[in-house]
Every structure is written in structure tokens, then in C-alpha cells.
């Protein structure tokens, strides 16, 4: 039986990250590949390859689309030398032909002459699983595809995730695209109401073990060729077609999958990972500073003195002058002032958090500054963004707010409820921004003054 070393990885990196903006914007009009998004101090493409490499995959092929995806990824991982793997990229000439993730994959299987088993994976998700049993089961059953599945409850699934219905052996018999809660209730009408909320529904995690030779043989199928002219996506088109035409496709449950496609999902995945719910991530993070509270602090930050007290972070922790944890990661050379409280959050390198600031369930990118007394909760702060604040005019950023890179927020501003601010904009103190607003340019700022 072939081993995991015979398995190759095919990374899908063709999206534009619209749902995740401004996290996927480097500057106005300049896209950041979702694979280049920062997560717990590393780029997502680093995380996914390191997790898969630890499971045994050493050979990778990246299906890219457009300059941002291809060359940003190439700058970050090159041809895999630093990660101890081999990486190749899809040729630019095929970009214009792509009609979806499955269409591009079929074309690249032919281009790279791949005929063995392959793991097709997204480059913008985190997975926690054991590949060996999934691969072994795949080889025993010999389906066209084995789909990594995440178990979720009906309330979490409704209107957000597609559901896979399986038989007793795990073979997928039907795909239901983003059912409503009422549709789920109707389908499971025989389930007692008290048990309905605990139903283990299988959702597509976006990781697929496939038989490359079989897929290549289907490339010229008349129906597949017709679909490819319009759109051939894995989850929406190819897998449902395979199931509907009698090809064996199985589901394999994995421990956890983190969807990072929007701000809320990003933060939930980050907090879960910091609490240790992703074993694959925990192993890569290394030994924590405080194992009982799941706190990671880089040595350079522990020895860093803040300007206000002149004390190191280690001294302030020892004297109870700061509160850090549970579930916190602090990168290198971060300056943490006295009276700061940080919980369930990630701070990348060179972050400055001044005295009395409060940070909860938030992501703070490299070089950001959080002013005195500022309150941040359930928000994302971009690289080199400055949140000005003082104790007389405290700034409040909470409930799903996302600030792009190099944003300046003036003291006294209050942003709540999913507001998105694009890179390099200035948010003045007198502004009144309604929840859910998207501030993409200076004219939007003026509109809310």
C-alpha cells in the first residue's frame, strides 16, 4: 500500500478575498492574497504547509490565479526550500482559462502529469486532523474523492454551510447547499425537538483526497466539459456531479477546521487555536510561557521595558501590574504598559500597548500602536495602525470591527458592529459611523462627520 510520502499536495490559491476585506488589502487597490494573511504570527500559507508537511506531504503544487496570489506566495515560500518541501506553481498562461477551482485543478493535473493520489487543499484555512487514517481509508475504499468533513450543529450550519448527507458507510449520497434552519427541521422532522440542536451535520471542510488518474479521465466527459465552459468549482459543481452520477465519494470527519474567510470567522478560529482546540497549531507554536493559561510570550517582549514604568514585562507580570491571559500570544519586541489587560488575543511583533489599555478577542498586527485606556474587543487591527486614546477620551473598537493597515484612529472614536476601515485612512474624533459601514475612501469619512 502506498505511503503518505507518495501523496502530493495541490494548493488552491485563486480567490480574491473579498469577504475578508480589509484583511486582504495591503493598500487601496492592492490586494493581499488570502494565503498571505497573518495568523498567529505566520502567514496562512506557512501554517497550512507546515501542518501538512508534519503529516508527511513533501511535494506541493500551487494552483494560483493572478499576480497577487502567485507572486506574493512565491515571495513567502519560494520553491519550499526553507520549509523543507518542494513547491511548483501553475503557469501564468493558464490563468485566463480558469472557470473555477476544479477546472484549474483538472488542467494542472494534466500539465504536471499527476496520476497518483493527491490532497487538494485551500491555502486560506487551518485544519486539525490526522492524515494517515484518512489516507489509509481512502486507499482501501478507492473512491474518486474523500472529503474532509467538519461536524457542526444545525444552528451553526443554517444559511452558512453546505451539508453532506451520507449512508452508514460514510459514502456521500447528497449535497445540500446552505440549507435554512427550517429546511433542516423539515428534513429531520423525525428527530425529537430536544435532540435537534445536537444533530452532528457534516460540512465540507475544503480538503479533498482525490484520485488524479480518475479525475483526468473525466476531463473530457461531455457533461464536465459543458460545466467547465461556465464554472467548475469543487464544492458547488464537481463533487455534486460525481455523487449524482454514481461515482464513489466519501466523507471523513476531521477534528477541526478554521474558516478564515471573514473577520468574525477569523477571530473565532484564532481564539479556538489559542485555547488549544487545534492540536496541529499548538504543536507548531512551541512551548508556552504559561501552559496553564495557554499564554505564549516571546523572550524579546518579556525583557522589553515600557517607557511609562521603565519595567520589563516580566517584572510587571511578577508584580501583578499587567494581566495577560488566558489564551494570548505576544510576538517579539512588544511594549506592554502598566495596567494593561489582554485576553484571548494575538499580538504580532513590535506592537505597542500603552498604559491602561484593554484588549480582548482581538488580532493586533505588526507595528500597531494601542493608546492609553483604549478598549478593543473582538476586532482586527492592521499593521502599523495607530489607535490614539487618552483617559479623558477613551477610544472604543469592538464587535467585529476591522481596521486595515496604516489606519489612524483619533482619540475618542467609537467604532462598533462590523465596521470595516480600509488601509491608510484617518478616522477623526467627531465621526459617527453606523454599525456595518464600510469606509473605503476619504469621501466615506466625510459622509459620517
Residue 281 resides in a domain: no
What's 43's domain CATH number? 3.90.550.10
Cis peptide before 326 (omega within 30 of 0): yes
CATH code: domain of residue 327? 2.160.10.10
Measure the CA angle with vertex 256, ends 215 and 37; round to 5°: 80
Domain hosting residue 196, numbered range? 4-274
* 186 pLDDT higher than 90: no
Is residue 17 very low, low, confident or very high in pLDDT (cuts 50, 70, 90)? low
Label residue 373 by pLDDT band (50, 70, 90). very high
Displacement of CA 255 from its chain's centroid (Å): 16
Co-location of 229 and 299 in the same domain: no
Indicate whether 181 and 251 sit together in one domain: yes
Q: Quick check: 40 and 285 in contact, CB under 8 A?
A: yes
Tell me, what's the pLDDT at 169? 92
**For residue 136, is it within any domain?**
yes
Q: Which of 231, 247, 274 is the last residue of a domain?
A: 274
Please state the domain count of the chain: 2
300 and 263 in a single domain? The answer is no
DSSP 8-class letter at 95: G
Same domain as 140, residue 43: yes
Q: Which three cell numbers stand for residue 304?
A: 522589553
H-state helical runs in 348-389: none
pLDDT at 364 over 70: yes
Residues 235, 97 share a domain: yes
Give CA–CA dist 54/281, Å, rounded.
11
- φ/ψ of 236, rounded to 5, equals -85, -30
pLDDT tens across 271-293, in order? 999 999 999 999 999 999 999 99
282 within a domain of the structure (yes/no): no
Residue 352: in which H helix or E strand, if any? strand 352-353
Do 242 and 329 belong together in one domain? Answer: no
Residues 148, 155: Cα–Cα separation, whole Å: 21
Q: Is residue 439 part of a domain?
A: yes
Q: Is the dihedral of CA 104, 65, 400, 350 positive or negative?
A: positive
DSSP state of 92: G
Matching residue, cell 515600557: 306
For residue 20, what pLDDT is reported? 58
Q: Are 329 and 268 part of one and the same domain?
A: no
> Which pLDDT value is given to residue 65?
81
Which pLDDT score is estimated for 13?
A: 86
Q: Are 387 and 381 in contact (CB under 8 A)?
A: yes
Residue 347, domain member (yes or no): yes
Whether residue 25 is predicted with pLDDT greater than 80 in this model: the reply is no
Supply the pTM of this predicted model: 0.90
User: DSSP code of 305?
Assistant: B
Residue 315, Cβ density class (10 Å: 0-12 exposed, 13-18 middle, ≥19 buried)? middle
- The pLDDT confidence band at residue 162, using thresholds 50, 70 and 90, is confident
Residue (of 324, 334, 346) closest to 268 by Cα position: 346
C-alpha 91/C-alpha 71 separation (Å) is 12
* Bridge partner residues of 421 (DSSP): 403, 439
Best mean pLDDT range from 30-44, 167-181, 284-298: 284-298
Q: Is residue 177 within 8 Å of residue 129, measured between CB atoms? A: no
Secondary structure letter of residue 22 according to DSSP: T
Residues 178 and 319 in one domain: no
**DSSP string across 237-273:** IIHHHHHHTT--EEEEE-SEEEE-SSHHHHHHHHHHH
Residues 261 and 175 in one domain: yes
Same domain, 50 and 198: yes
Query: Cell 482546540 identifies what position?
Result: 277
Amino acid at each position: 500500500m502506498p505511503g503518505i510520502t507518495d501523496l502530493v499536495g495541490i494548493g488552491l490559491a485563486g480567490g480574491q478575498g473579498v469577504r475578508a476585506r480589509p484583511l486582504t488589502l495591503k493598500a487601496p487597490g492592492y490586494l493581499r492574497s488570502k494565503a498571505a494573511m497573518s495568523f498567529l504570527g505566520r502567514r496562512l500559507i506557512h501554517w497550512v504547509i507546515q501542518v501538512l508537511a508534519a503529516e508527511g506531504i513533501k511535494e506541493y503544487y500551487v494552483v494560483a490565479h493572478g499576480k497577487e496570489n502567485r507572486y506574493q506566495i512565491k515571495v513567502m515560500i519560494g520553491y519550499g526550500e526553507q520549509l523543507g518541501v518542494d513547491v511548483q506553481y501553475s503557469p501564468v498562461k493558464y490563468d485566463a482559462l480558469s472557470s473555477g477551482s476544479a477546472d484549474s485543478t483538472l488542467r494542472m493535473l494534466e500539465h504536471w502529469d499527476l496520476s497518483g493520489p493527491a490532497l487538494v487543499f485551500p491555502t486560506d484555512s487551518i485544519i486539525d486532523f490526522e492524515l494517515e487514517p484518512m489516507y489509509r481509508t481512502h486507499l482501501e475504499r478507492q473512491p474518486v474523492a474523500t472529503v474532509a468533513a467538519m461536524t457542526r450543529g444545525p444552528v451553526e450550519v443554517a444559511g452558512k454551510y453546505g451539508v453532506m448527507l451520507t449512508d452508514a458507510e460514510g459514502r456521500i449520497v447528497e449535497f445540500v447547499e446552505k440549507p435554512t434552519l427550517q429546511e433542516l427541521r423539515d428534513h429531520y422532522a423525525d428527530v425529537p425537538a430536544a435532540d435537534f440542536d445536537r444533530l452532528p451535520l457534516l460540512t465540507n471542510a475544503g480538503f479533498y483526497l482525490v484520485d488524479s488518474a480518475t479525475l483526468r479521465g473525466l476531463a473530457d466527459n461531455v457533461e464536465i466539459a459543458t460545466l467547465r465552459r461556465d464554472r467548475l468549482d469543487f464544492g458547488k459543481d464537481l463533487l455534486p456531479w460525481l455523487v449524482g452520477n454514481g461515482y464513489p465519494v466519501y466523507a471523513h470527519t476531521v477534528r477541526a477546521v478554521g474558516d478564515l474567510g471573514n473577520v468574525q470567522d477569523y477571530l473565532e478560529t484564532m481564539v479556538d487555536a489559542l485555547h488549544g482546540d487545534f492540536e496541529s497549531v499548538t504543536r507548531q507554536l512551541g512551548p508556552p510561557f504559561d501552559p496553564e493559561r495557554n499564554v505564549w510570550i516571546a523572550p524579546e517582549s518579556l525583557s522589553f521595558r515600557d517607557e511609562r514604568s521603565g519595567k520589563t514585562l516580566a517584572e510587571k507580570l511578577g508584580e501583578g501590574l499587567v494581566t495577560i491571559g488566558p489564551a494570548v500570544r505576544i510576538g517579539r519586541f512588544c511594549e506592554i504598559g502598566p495596567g494593561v489587560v489582554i485576553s484571548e488575543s494575538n499580538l504580532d511583533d513590535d506592537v505597542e500597548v500603552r498604559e491602561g489599555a484593554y484588549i480582548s478577542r482581538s488580532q493586533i498586527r505588526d507595528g500597531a500602536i494601542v493608546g492609553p485606556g483604549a478598549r478593543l474587543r473582538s476586532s482586527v487591527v492592521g499593521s502599523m495602525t495607530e489607535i490614539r486614546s487618552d483617559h479623558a477620551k477613551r477610544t472604543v473598537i469592538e464587535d467585529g470591527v476591522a481596521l486595515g493597515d496604516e489606519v489612524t484612529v483619533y482619540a475618542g472614536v467609537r467604532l462598533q458592529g462590523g465596521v470595516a476601515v480600509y488601509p491608510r485612512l484617518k478616522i477623526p474624533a467627531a465621526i459617527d459611523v453606523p454599525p456595518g459601514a464600510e469606509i473605503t475612501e476619504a469621501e466615506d469619512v466625510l459622509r459620517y462627520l
